Amino acid sequence: MVALSELKKKTTLQAIEELSEKQELRPYLGASALGHSCERFLWYAFRWCYEEEISARIMRLFNRGHREEPEIVKTLAKVGITCYDDQAEVIFCHGHAKGHCDGKSIGIIEAPKTPHLNEYKTMSDKYFKDVCKVGVKASKPVYYAQMQIYMKYLKLTRALFIAVNKNDDSMYIERVHYDAEAAKELERKAENIVLSEEPPKKKFKPTWYACKFCSAKSICHGGGKIHKSCRTCVNCDIEPNGKWRCSALDLELSTSQQRLGCKKYEILECLNNG
Distance CA 163, CA 7 (A): 38
Lowest mean pLDDT among 10-14, 17-21, 22-26, 195-199: 17-21
d(CA 97, CA 36): 14
Q: CA-CA distance, 175 to 102, in Å (whole number)? A: 15
- The domain spans of the chain are 56-189, 228-274
Per-residue confidence (pLDDT) for residue 7, from 0 to 100: 52
Quote the pLDDT of residue 273: 61
Q: Which CATH class is domain 56-189?
A: alpha beta
pLDDT band at 64 (very low <50, low <70, confident <90, very high): confident
Instruction: Return the minimum-mean-pLDDT range out of 10-19, 176-185, 225-234, 260-269.
Output: 10-19
Percent of the chain with pLDDT over 70: 94
274 pLDDT tier (thresholds 50, 70, 90)? very low
Q: How many CB atoms lie within 10 A of CB 115?
A: 17
Using a pLDDT cut of 90, give the percent of the chain over it. Answer: 76
- pTM of the model as a whole: 0.88
Kindly state the average pLDDT of the residues 126-138.
98
Rounded to whole angstroms, the Cα distance separating 171 from 140 reads 16
Q: Which of 168-177, 188-197, 202-211, 260-269 has the lowest mean pLDDT?
A: 202-211
User: Of the spans 10-19, 61-70, 194-203, which averages the highest pLDDT?
Assistant: 194-203
Contact criterion met (CB below 8 Å) for 241 and 97: no
Are the C-beta atoms of 269 and 234 separated by less than 8 Å?
yes
**pLDDT tens for each residue of 225-244:** 999 999 999 999 999 999 99
